[in-house]
Structure 1
Amino acid sequence: MRIAASMMVMLALVVSTAVAGSHHKKHHRNSKKKDAIIIDKKVFNTANLPFIPHNGTALFTNWVGLNVDYQYIQPIFNLVNSTASLSNGTLLSRGESHITVILPPEYDNILHPAGVTIEELNALATADNRLQRARFGIECLGRVQAVSEPDKVFQQAVQIILKNYREVVAYREEVFGLFVRKGGNPALFDPNNFLLHITLGFRRRNLFVEDGVFKGKNACIHKMVAR
Protein backbone atom coordinates (compact mmCIF):
# COMPACT_ATOMS: atom_id res chain seq x y z
CA MET A 1 0.00 0.00 0.00
CA ARG A 2 2.79 2.40 0.98
CA ILE A 3 4.67 1.60 -2.26
CA ALA A 4 1.54 2.17 -4.32
CA ALA A 5 0.87 5.48 -2.55
CA SER A 6 4.47 6.61 -3.12
CA MET A 7 4.23 5.73 -6.78
CA MET A 8 1.00 7.72 -7.08
CA VAL A 9 2.65 10.77 -5.47
CA MET A 10 5.67 10.48 -7.77
CA LEU A 11 3.41 10.14 -10.83
CA ALA A 12 1.48 13.24 -9.78
CA LEU A 13 4.73 15.17 -9.43
CA VAL A 14 5.92 14.06 -12.88
CA VAL A 15 2.62 15.06 -14.48
CA SER A 16 2.50 18.42 -12.75
CA THR A 17 6.13 19.10 -13.72
CA ALA A 18 5.44 18.18 -17.32
CA VAL A 19 2.39 20.42 -17.43
CA ALA A 20 4.31 23.29 -15.85
CA GLY A 21 7.17 22.77 -18.29
CA SER A 22 4.76 22.73 -21.20
CA HIS A 23 3.13 25.93 -19.95
CA HIS A 24 6.55 27.55 -19.54
CA LYS A 25 7.59 26.60 -23.08
CA LYS A 26 4.29 27.89 -24.47
CA HIS A 27 4.68 31.12 -22.52
CA HIS A 28 8.26 31.41 -23.78
CA ARG A 29 7.15 30.97 -27.37
CA ASN A 30 4.40 33.55 -26.93
CA SER A 31 6.84 35.96 -25.33
CA LYS A 32 9.21 35.61 -28.28
CA LYS A 33 6.32 36.24 -30.65
CA LYS A 34 5.34 39.37 -28.72
CA ASP A 35 8.93 40.56 -28.87
CA ALA A 36 8.90 40.57 -32.67
CA ILE A 37 9.11 43.98 -34.32
CA ILE A 38 5.78 44.65 -36.03
CA ILE A 39 5.65 46.42 -39.39
CA ASP A 40 2.41 47.50 -41.03
CA LYS A 41 1.47 45.03 -43.77
CA LYS A 42 0.52 47.99 -45.96
CA VAL A 43 4.25 48.26 -46.67
CA PHE A 44 3.61 45.59 -49.32
CA ASN A 45 1.19 47.88 -51.21
CA THR A 46 3.75 49.26 -53.62
CA ALA A 47 1.73 48.92 -56.84
CA ASN A 48 0.02 52.27 -56.27
CA LEU A 49 3.32 54.11 -55.76
CA PRO A 50 5.15 55.76 -58.68
CA PHE A 51 8.23 54.17 -60.15
CA ILE A 52 11.12 56.56 -59.54
CA PRO A 53 13.86 56.53 -62.22
CA HIS A 54 17.44 57.03 -61.09
CA ASN A 55 19.38 58.42 -64.04
CA GLY A 56 22.59 60.39 -63.83
CA THR A 57 25.83 61.22 -65.54
CA ALA A 58 28.19 60.63 -62.61
CA LEU A 59 29.48 57.28 -61.39
CA PHE A 60 27.04 55.29 -59.21
CA THR A 61 24.06 57.52 -60.08
CA ASN A 62 22.32 55.03 -62.39
CA TRP A 63 20.38 52.23 -60.73
CA VAL A 64 16.93 50.64 -60.59
CA GLY A 65 14.79 50.47 -57.47
CA LEU A 66 11.37 49.43 -56.23
CA ASN A 67 9.80 52.43 -54.46
CA VAL A 68 8.50 51.67 -50.91
CA ASP A 69 6.22 53.94 -48.86
CA TYR A 70 8.42 55.52 -46.19
CA GLN A 71 5.51 56.15 -43.81
CA TYR A 72 5.63 52.43 -42.92
CA ILE A 73 9.42 52.32 -42.71
CA GLN A 74 9.98 55.41 -40.57
CA PRO A 75 8.40 53.94 -37.38
CA ILE A 76 10.76 50.96 -37.67
CA PHE A 77 13.74 53.28 -38.09
CA ASN A 78 12.66 55.31 -35.05
CA LEU A 79 12.24 52.15 -32.95
CA VAL A 80 15.58 50.68 -33.99
CA ASN A 81 17.44 53.95 -33.54
CA SER A 82 16.04 54.44 -30.04
CA THR A 83 16.85 50.90 -28.89
CA ALA A 84 20.25 50.61 -27.21
CA SER A 85 20.87 47.02 -28.25
CA LEU A 86 20.06 47.74 -31.89
CA SER A 87 21.71 51.07 -32.67
CA ASN A 88 21.52 53.44 -29.68
CA GLY A 89 20.79 56.51 -31.76
CA THR A 90 23.79 56.14 -34.06
CA LEU A 91 21.95 55.63 -37.36
CA LEU A 92 21.54 58.17 -40.15
CA SER A 93 18.34 57.99 -42.22
CA ARG A 94 17.90 58.79 -45.89
CA GLY A 95 14.33 59.94 -45.22
CA GLU A 96 13.01 57.63 -47.95
CA SER A 97 12.86 53.91 -48.64
CA HIS A 98 13.37 51.67 -51.63
CA ILE A 99 14.55 48.22 -52.65
CA THR A 100 17.57 48.39 -54.94
CA VAL A 101 17.05 45.93 -57.80
CA ILE A 102 19.94 46.83 -60.12
CA LEU A 103 22.95 48.07 -58.15
CA PRO A 104 24.96 51.08 -59.31
CA PRO A 105 28.16 48.98 -59.71
CA GLU A 106 26.21 46.41 -61.73
CA TYR A 107 25.12 49.11 -64.13
CA ASP A 108 28.41 51.03 -64.32
CA ASN A 109 30.79 48.08 -64.43
CA ILE A 110 28.79 45.36 -66.20
CA LEU A 111 25.58 46.36 -67.96
CA HIS A 112 26.47 49.76 -69.40
CA PRO A 113 29.82 48.66 -70.95
CA ALA A 114 27.82 46.03 -72.88
CA GLY A 115 25.52 48.71 -74.28
CA VAL A 116 22.58 48.34 -71.90
CA THR A 117 21.12 51.78 -71.16
CA ILE A 118 19.35 52.96 -68.02
CA GLU A 119 16.40 53.91 -70.24
CA GLU A 120 16.08 50.27 -71.34
CA LEU A 121 16.19 49.09 -67.72
CA ASN A 122 13.52 51.61 -66.74
CA ALA A 123 11.35 50.57 -69.68
CA LEU A 124 11.52 46.93 -68.57
CA ALA A 125 10.65 47.97 -65.03
CA THR A 126 7.63 50.07 -65.97
CA ALA A 127 6.08 47.74 -68.55
CA ASP A 128 2.70 46.84 -67.02
CA ASN A 129 4.02 48.44 -63.81
CA ARG A 130 5.78 45.13 -63.27
CA LEU A 131 8.45 46.21 -60.81
CA GLN A 132 6.19 48.24 -58.51
CA ARG A 133 3.75 45.28 -58.50
CA ALA A 134 6.46 42.80 -57.52
CA ARG A 135 5.70 40.97 -54.30
CA PHE A 136 8.08 40.36 -51.42
CA GLY A 137 8.01 39.19 -47.80
CA ILE A 138 9.72 40.16 -44.55
CA GLU A 139 12.47 37.85 -43.28
CA CYS A 140 13.84 39.77 -40.29
CA LEU A 141 15.65 42.85 -39.06
CA GLY A 142 19.27 42.59 -40.12
CA ARG A 143 22.50 44.33 -39.25
CA VAL A 144 25.92 44.32 -40.87
CA GLN A 145 29.13 45.72 -39.41
CA ALA A 146 32.63 46.19 -40.77
CA VAL A 147 35.80 48.18 -40.29
CA SER A 148 36.26 50.10 -43.52
CA GLU A 149 39.51 50.24 -45.41
CA PRO A 150 41.86 52.01 -45.51
CA ASP A 151 40.64 54.41 -42.81
CA LYS A 152 39.96 51.66 -40.22
CA VAL A 153 36.61 53.22 -39.22
CA PHE A 154 33.82 51.12 -37.68
CA GLN A 155 30.74 51.14 -39.92
CA GLN A 156 27.28 49.75 -39.31
CA ALA A 157 24.11 49.44 -41.38
CA VAL A 158 20.67 48.17 -40.33
CA GLN A 159 18.12 46.91 -42.81
CA ILE A 160 14.92 44.94 -43.25
CA ILE A 161 15.92 41.63 -44.83
CA LEU A 162 13.40 40.43 -47.43
CA LYS A 163 12.35 37.04 -48.80
CA ASN A 164 10.02 35.51 -51.41
CA TYR A 165 10.88 38.02 -54.12
CA ARG A 166 10.66 35.78 -57.18
CA GLU A 167 9.09 38.52 -59.32
CA VAL A 168 12.05 40.83 -58.70
CA VAL A 169 14.42 38.05 -59.74
CA ALA A 170 12.28 37.56 -62.86
CA TYR A 171 12.93 41.20 -63.74
CA ARG A 172 16.67 40.70 -63.26
CA GLU A 173 16.51 37.60 -65.45
CA GLU A 174 14.97 39.72 -68.22
CA VAL A 175 17.77 42.26 -67.76
CA PHE A 176 20.23 39.36 -68.05
CA GLY A 177 18.62 38.33 -71.36
CA LEU A 178 18.98 41.87 -72.69
CA PHE A 179 22.59 41.99 -71.52
CA VAL A 180 23.49 38.74 -73.29
CA ARG A 181 21.70 39.75 -76.51
CA LYS A 182 23.88 42.86 -76.61
CA GLY A 183 26.99 40.71 -76.40
CA GLY A 184 27.60 40.86 -72.66
CA ASN A 185 29.64 38.11 -71.00
CA PRO A 186 27.08 35.89 -69.16
CA ALA A 187 29.63 35.10 -66.45
CA LEU A 188 29.65 38.73 -65.29
CA PHE A 189 25.97 39.06 -64.29
CA ASP A 190 24.02 36.52 -62.27
CA PRO A 191 20.36 37.57 -61.85
CA ASN A 192 19.93 35.15 -58.94
CA ASN A 193 23.00 36.23 -56.98
CA PHE A 194 21.15 38.96 -55.14
CA LEU A 195 19.99 39.73 -51.58
CA LEU A 196 16.94 41.99 -51.34
CA HIS A 197 16.60 44.41 -48.42
CA ILE A 198 15.31 47.82 -47.37
CA THR A 199 17.96 50.00 -45.74
CA LEU A 200 16.76 51.61 -42.51
CA GLY A 201 19.88 53.58 -41.69
CA PHE A 202 23.61 53.46 -41.30
CA ARG A 203 26.43 54.80 -39.19
CA ARG A 204 28.65 57.20 -41.17
CA ARG A 205 27.94 55.44 -44.49
CA ASN A 206 26.14 52.44 -45.90
CA LEU A 207 27.87 49.08 -46.30
CA PHE A 208 27.96 46.91 -49.40
CA VAL A 209 29.21 43.53 -50.55
CA GLU A 210 32.45 45.28 -51.50
CA ASP A 211 32.95 45.81 -47.75
CA GLY A 212 32.72 42.06 -47.22
CA VAL A 213 29.16 41.99 -45.83
CA PHE A 214 26.10 40.09 -47.07
CA LYS A 215 22.62 41.42 -46.33
CA GLY A 216 20.74 38.14 -46.31
CA LYS A 217 19.25 35.82 -43.71
CA ASN A 218 22.76 35.42 -42.34
CA ALA A 219 22.55 39.01 -41.03
CA CYS A 220 19.30 38.57 -39.04
CA ILE A 221 19.40 39.96 -35.48
CA HIS A 222 15.72 40.31 -34.57
CA LYS A 223 12.41 38.78 -35.58
CA MET A 224 10.08 40.98 -37.61
CA VAL A 225 6.52 40.29 -38.76
CA ALA A 226 4.01 42.20 -40.89
CA ARG A 227 0.43 42.54 -39.74
Structure 2
Amino acid sequence: MRVTASLLAAMAVVASTVLAAPENVDNKSNKHHSKSIVINKKVLQTSKVPFIPHSGTALFSNWVGLNVDFKYVKPVFDLANTTLAIGNGTLISRNESHVTVILPTEYDQILHPAGVTIEELNALATRGPQKNSLQRSRFELECVGRVQVVTKDGVFQQSLQLILKNYKDLIRYREEVFKLFVKKGGNPALFSADNFTPHITLGFKHRDIFVEDGVFKGKNACFRKIVAK
Protein backbone atom coordinates (compact mmCIF):
# COMPACT_ATOMS: atom_id res chain seq x y z
CA MET A 1 0.00 0.00 0.00
CA ARG A 2 1.34 3.43 -0.91
CA VAL A 3 1.65 6.02 1.86
CA THR A 4 0.90 9.58 0.81
CA ALA A 5 3.33 12.43 1.50
CA SER A 6 0.81 14.11 3.79
CA LEU A 7 0.43 10.95 5.87
CA LEU A 8 4.21 10.62 6.18
CA ALA A 9 4.42 14.23 7.34
CA ALA A 10 1.72 13.62 9.93
CA MET A 11 3.57 10.54 11.19
CA ALA A 12 6.76 12.59 11.54
CA VAL A 13 4.96 15.21 13.62
CA VAL A 14 3.54 12.53 15.91
CA ALA A 15 6.98 10.95 16.32
CA SER A 16 8.54 14.29 17.24
CA THR A 17 5.77 14.93 19.75
CA VAL A 18 6.34 11.57 21.42
CA LEU A 19 10.08 12.17 21.63
CA ALA A 20 9.47 15.62 23.06
CA ALA A 21 7.14 14.46 25.84
CA PRO A 22 8.71 14.93 29.30
CA GLU A 23 9.47 11.57 30.91
CA ASN A 24 7.97 12.34 34.31
CA VAL A 25 4.71 13.93 33.20
CA ASP A 26 1.41 12.11 33.38
CA ASN A 27 -0.05 13.18 30.05
CA LYS A 28 -3.57 12.18 31.10
CA SER A 29 -3.73 14.32 34.21
CA ASN A 30 -0.93 16.77 33.30
CA LYS A 31 0.18 16.72 36.94
CA HIS A 32 3.86 17.23 37.61
CA HIS A 33 6.02 14.87 39.61
CA SER A 34 5.19 14.73 43.32
CA LYS A 35 8.78 15.02 44.56
CA SER A 36 9.61 18.64 45.39
CA ILE A 37 12.87 20.48 44.80
CA VAL A 38 13.85 23.07 47.42
CA ILE A 39 15.37 26.46 46.58
CA ASN A 40 16.52 29.25 48.89
CA LYS A 41 13.73 31.81 49.19
CA LYS A 42 16.29 34.60 48.85
CA VAL A 43 16.21 33.93 45.11
CA LEU A 44 12.99 35.97 45.11
CA GLN A 45 14.75 39.05 46.52
CA THR A 46 15.83 40.49 43.19
CA SER A 47 15.98 44.04 44.60
CA LYS A 48 19.26 43.04 46.25
CA VAL A 49 21.03 42.56 42.90
CA PRO A 50 21.59 45.29 40.29
CA PHE A 51 19.73 45.79 37.04
CA ILE A 52 21.94 44.80 34.11
CA PRO A 53 21.30 46.52 30.75
CA HIS A 54 21.62 44.45 27.58
CA SER A 55 22.27 46.39 24.41
CA GLY A 56 24.32 46.16 21.26
CA THR A 57 24.36 46.57 17.51
CA ALA A 58 23.97 42.89 16.61
CA LEU A 59 20.67 41.10 16.10
CA PHE A 60 19.22 39.67 19.34
CA SER A 61 21.60 41.75 21.49
CA ASN A 62 18.94 44.15 22.81
CA TRP A 63 16.57 42.89 25.48
CA VAL A 64 15.37 43.63 29.00
CA GLY A 65 15.82 41.21 31.87
CA LEU A 66 15.16 40.92 35.58
CA ASN A 67 18.50 40.00 37.12
CA VAL A 68 18.36 37.04 39.54
CA ASP A 69 21.09 36.04 41.99
CA PHE A 70 22.70 32.97 40.42
CA LYS A 71 24.13 31.63 43.67
CA TYR A 72 20.63 30.55 44.71
CA VAL A 73 19.85 29.02 41.32
CA LYS A 74 23.10 27.07 40.90
CA PRO A 75 22.31 24.41 43.56
CA VAL A 76 19.08 23.57 41.71
CA PHE A 77 20.96 23.32 38.42
CA ASP A 78 23.59 21.08 40.03
CA LEU A 79 20.89 18.83 41.49
CA ALA A 80 19.07 18.55 38.16
CA ASN A 81 22.26 17.96 36.21
CA THR A 82 23.45 15.17 38.49
CA THR A 83 20.09 13.39 38.55
CA LEU A 84 20.06 10.44 36.17
CA ALA A 85 16.46 10.88 35.03
CA ILE A 86 16.83 14.63 34.42
CA GLY A 87 20.21 15.95 33.30
CA ASN A 88 22.59 13.03 33.77
CA GLY A 89 25.52 15.44 33.45
CA THR A 90 24.54 16.64 29.97
CA LEU A 91 23.16 20.09 30.79
CA ILE A 92 24.93 23.38 30.10
CA SER A 93 24.58 26.37 32.43
CA ARG A 94 25.03 30.01 31.46
CA ASN A 95 26.41 30.64 34.98
CA GLU A 96 23.99 33.53 35.43
CA SER A 97 20.27 33.87 36.02
CA HIS A 98 17.60 36.22 34.74
CA VAL A 99 14.00 36.50 33.68
CA THR A 100 13.69 37.87 30.15
CA VAL A 101 10.98 40.53 30.32
CA ILE A 102 11.32 41.95 26.80
CA LEU A 103 12.49 39.36 24.29
CA PRO A 104 15.20 40.16 21.73
CA THR A 105 12.72 39.29 18.98
CA GLU A 106 10.12 41.65 20.46
CA TYR A 107 12.65 44.46 20.41
CA ASP A 108 14.14 43.72 16.98
CA GLN A 109 10.92 42.93 15.13
CA ILE A 110 8.26 45.02 16.89
CA LEU A 111 9.43 47.73 19.29
CA HIS A 112 12.52 49.11 17.58
CA PRO A 113 10.88 49.44 14.11
CA ALA A 114 8.27 51.66 15.80
CA GLY A 115 10.98 53.92 17.21
CA VAL A 116 11.28 52.50 20.73
CA THR A 117 14.91 52.48 21.84
CA ILE A 118 16.67 50.17 24.27
CA GLU A 119 17.64 53.26 26.27
CA GLU A 120 13.95 54.06 26.77
CA LEU A 121 13.23 50.51 27.88
CA ASN A 122 16.12 50.62 30.35
CA ALA A 123 14.89 53.97 31.65
CA LEU A 124 11.48 52.44 32.37
CA ALA A 125 13.23 49.62 34.22
CA THR A 126 15.27 51.93 36.43
CA ARG A 127 12.69 54.49 37.50
CA GLY A 128 12.04 55.42 41.10
CA PRO A 129 14.17 56.83 43.92
CA GLN A 130 16.37 53.73 44.04
CA LYS A 131 16.67 53.47 40.25
CA ASN A 132 15.64 49.82 40.30
CA SER A 133 11.88 49.65 39.74
CA LEU A 134 12.08 46.47 37.65
CA GLN A 135 14.44 44.75 40.09
CA ARG A 136 11.89 45.33 42.84
CA SER A 137 9.36 43.18 41.00
CA ARG A 138 7.66 40.51 43.07
CA PHE A 139 6.98 36.99 41.85
CA GLU A 140 6.75 33.40 43.02
CA LEU A 141 7.89 30.08 41.60
CA GLU A 142 5.35 27.68 40.10
CA CYS A 143 7.53 24.65 39.38
CA VAL A 144 10.57 23.28 37.61
CA GLY A 145 9.71 23.05 33.94
CA ARG A 146 11.20 20.95 31.19
CA VAL A 147 10.78 21.26 27.44
CA GLN A 148 12.09 18.72 24.95
CA VAL A 149 11.98 18.69 21.18
CA VAL A 150 13.72 17.29 18.13
CA THR A 151 14.74 20.39 16.19
CA LYS A 152 14.71 20.78 12.42
CA ASP A 153 18.33 19.63 12.21
CA GLY A 154 17.31 16.31 13.79
CA VAL A 155 18.98 16.95 17.17
CA PHE A 156 17.26 16.12 20.46
CA GLN A 157 17.18 19.26 22.61
CA GLN A 158 16.21 19.70 26.25
CA SER A 159 15.90 22.79 28.43
CA LEU A 160 15.03 23.15 32.14
CA GLN A 161 13.49 26.25 33.71
CA LEU A 162 12.05 27.66 36.90
CA ILE A 163 8.52 28.65 35.87
CA LEU A 164 7.15 31.83 37.47
CA LYS A 165 3.71 32.65 38.85
CA ASN A 166 2.11 35.74 40.42
CA TYR A 167 4.28 38.11 38.38
CA LYS A 168 1.95 41.12 38.09
CA ASP A 169 4.84 43.56 38.50
CA LEU A 170 6.49 42.20 35.36
CA ILE A 171 3.22 42.55 33.47
CA ARG A 172 2.98 46.17 34.66
CA TYR A 173 6.40 46.87 33.19
CA ARG A 174 5.32 45.35 29.88
CA GLU A 175 2.16 47.47 29.99
CA GLU A 176 4.33 50.58 30.29
CA VAL A 177 6.31 49.39 27.29
CA PHE A 178 3.05 48.88 25.39
CA LYS A 179 1.98 52.47 26.15
CA LEU A 180 5.30 53.79 24.88
CA PHE A 181 5.06 51.61 21.77
CA VAL A 182 1.56 52.86 20.92
CA LYS A 183 2.52 56.47 21.69
CA LYS A 184 5.22 56.22 19.06
CA GLY A 185 2.71 55.00 16.49
CA GLY A 186 3.19 51.26 16.89
CA ASN A 187 0.41 48.90 15.85
CA PRO A 188 -1.19 47.72 19.14
CA ALA A 189 -2.04 44.38 17.56
CA LEU A 190 1.66 43.51 17.37
CA PHE A 191 2.58 43.66 21.06
CA SER A 192 0.67 42.18 24.00
CA ALA A 193 1.80 42.75 27.57
CA ASP A 194 0.08 39.53 28.64
CA ASN A 195 1.63 37.32 25.95
CA PHE A 196 4.42 36.36 28.28
CA THR A 197 5.70 33.15 29.91
CA PRO A 198 8.41 34.29 32.36
CA HIS A 199 10.95 31.75 33.53
CA ILE A 200 14.51 31.39 34.78
CA THR A 201 16.59 29.08 32.62
CA LEU A 202 18.42 26.43 34.63
CA GLY A 203 20.29 24.73 31.82
CA PHE A 204 19.99 23.07 28.45
CA LYS A 205 21.43 20.35 26.26
CA HIS A 206 23.40 21.58 23.19
CA ARG A 207 21.56 24.94 23.08
CA ASP A 208 18.56 26.65 24.59
CA ILE A 209 15.25 26.19 22.80
CA PHE A 210 12.50 28.73 22.27
CA VAL A 211 8.98 29.24 20.99
CA GLU A 212 10.49 29.39 17.50
CA ASP A 213 11.42 25.73 18.03
CA GLY A 214 7.81 24.93 18.90
CA VAL A 215 8.02 24.83 22.71
CA PHE A 216 6.22 26.90 25.35
CA LYS A 217 7.87 27.47 28.73
CA GLY A 218 4.82 28.02 30.88
CA LYS A 219 2.85 26.05 33.44
CA ASN A 220 2.29 23.48 30.71
CA ALA A 221 5.96 22.46 31.04
CA CYS A 222 5.87 21.70 34.80
CA PHE A 223 7.37 18.35 35.78
CA ARG A 224 8.69 18.88 39.32
CA LYS A 225 7.32 20.86 42.24
CA ILE A 226 9.56 23.52 43.75
CA VAL A 227 9.46 25.00 47.24
CA ALA A 228 11.17 28.26 48.21
CA LYS A 229 12.17 28.28 51.86
Corresponding residue for residue 3 of structure 1: none
Tell whether the 8 Å contact from 2:34 to 2:224 is kept in structure 1 after alignment. no
Shift of the alpha carbon at 1:111?
A: 0.3
Alignment-derived partner of residue 137 in structure 2:
134
Which residue does 2:119 correspond to in 1? 119
CA distance in 2 between partners of 1:89 and 1:49 (Å): 29
Aligned residue type for 1:57: T
In 1: Cα distance, 2:92 partner to 2:197 partner: 22
Structure number with bigger Rg: 1
The equivalent of 1:189 in structure 2 is: 191
> Alpha carbons of 1:187 and 1:34: their partners in 2 closer, same or farther (altered >3 Å)?
closer
**Structure 1 unmatched ranges of 5 or more:** 1-31
Greater fraction of residues in helix: 1
Aligned to 2:50, what secondary structure does the other structure show? coil
Name the count of aligned residue pairs. 195
Alignment partners' CA distance in 2, 1:189 and 1:89: 38
Correspondent of 1:201 among 172, 192, 203: 203
Q: Which runs of 5+ in 2 are unaligned?
A: 1-31
Amino acid at match of 1:155: Q
Bigger relative contact order, structure 1 or 2 (CA pairs below 8 A, ≥6 apart):
2
Deviations along 1:185-219, one digit per CA (max 9) or x if unpaired, are 11110110100100000111101111111101100
Task: Give 1:154 deviation, angstroms.
Answer: 0.9
Find the counterpart in structure 2 of residue 147 from structure 1: 150
Q: Which runs of 4+ in 1 moved over 2 A?
A: 32-35
- Tell me the C-alpha RMSD between the 2 structures: 1.4
How far is 1:35 from its partner? 3.2
Instruction: Give the counterpart letter for 2:217 in structure 1.
Output: K
- Counterpart mapping for 1:19-34 below 5 A: none
1:142/1:33 CA distance change after superposition, 3 Å = closer
